[in-house]
Amino acid sequence: MSDIGLTDEFSERSGSSLSALKVLGTLRADTALLTDMTPESSAPQLNSGSASSFDIVFPIRTNGEGAPLFCIHPIVGLSWCYSEFDKYTDRPIYGIQTPGQSDLPGTLDALAQRYIDEIEKILPDGPYNLLGWSLGGTITHAMAVRLRQQGKHVDSLVLLDSHAVQRENALEASLPAADLLDAVGITLPGINGQRITLESLPSLVAGSDVIETHEVERLIAAARHNHELAVGHVPGVYDGDVLFVGAAHEEMHGLSTWHPYIRGQITTYTVPQSHWQMTSASALRAVGPLVARHLGANGVNAIGG
């Protein structure tokens, strides 16, 4: 891979997400994961200090116009899957990721407050734009309820194929390996057609040089814990409007579960994807512009849609 220019895309120079991350993997101990896939866009993060790609706050873009978009992790606990949203809005974007196992709260509402504390360090007084996929939607809704109770302004609440009430057996299902890795935010070759459960994820990524096995095991432990919190969670009522984007290829649709817990208007769309594909590149070609237009209706800058 020679003669790569500052604005060349890795994918356009015969590089996959995996190869890009392998090239940058040796930097992970001292720098943030480089989610922008050009050398030019990577440079600011290389110079940003010693942040880890597993920290609770995962900066995707730290500058831009308008109030930031805060994206709450799905069940796997990482927000890497939201990195491509920067193609569709020019706002700052921050992912919120699961804490370490010793720092996991005992209720989902306490977890929501933990994340509120983090986003208030970035934006003390709002307004807040919140987005969550899967379990992240349940947490995001709880955050919005608490922020409104605290007198804060929530500009936008976006739920991507999430359920108000979690099914107890949600972690036991097998699913396409590629879809699960999309949820993590990484790509591996040679896994088309494989089906795995969340529990078998460590063996799938072992030796990939993309994410360490012990980190995956930590994330799975956090996923079990957070899932138990969600199963026992009774949502509050959010008094604002919501954008809900559902997965058309799912038999169990989450939209109806939210009606008792949302007092404002619910704008709904579906995309021709499964639940685990909601942040894949193909899904984001539809989801990204929808989210950008929704944010733009409440702010200043929808682009790419």
The partner residues of 270 in beta bridges, in order of sequence, read 246
The answer to whether residue 300 scores a pLDDT higher than 50 is no
Q: What are phi and psi of 97, to 5 degrees?
A: -120, 160
The chain-wide mean pLDDT, for the chain, equals 79
Give me the pLDDT at residue 171, please. 63
Give me the pLDDT at residue 51, please. 57
Q: What is the pLDDT of residues 165-212, one digit of tens each?
A: 877 666 667 777 877 777 777 777 777 778 877 777 777 777 667 777
Strand pairing report for 93-96 and 57-61: antiparallel
pTM: 0.80
Q: Please, are residues 117 and 94 in contact by the beta-carbon 8 Å criterion?
A: no
In angstroms and rounded to an integer, the radius of gyration of the C-alpha atoms of the chain is: 18
Q: Which residues contact 261 (CB under 8 A, 6 or more apart)?
A: 141, 164, 235, 236, 237, 238
How far is residue 81's CA from residue 96's CA, in Å, rounded to a whole number? 11
Residue 59 in tokens: 């900066």
Give me the pLDDT at residue 170, please. 63
Q: How many CB atoms lie within 10 A of CB 73?
A: 31
Q: What is the pLDDT of residues 59-117, one digit of tens each?
A: 999 999 999 999 999 988 999 999 999 999 999 999 999 998 778 899 999 999 999 99
Comparing 277 with 6, the larger pLDDT belongs to: 277
Residue 296: closest CA among 91, 94, 43: 91
How far is residue 35's CA from residue 28's CA, in Å, rounded to a whole number? 12
The partner residues of 262 in beta bridges, in order of sequence, read 238
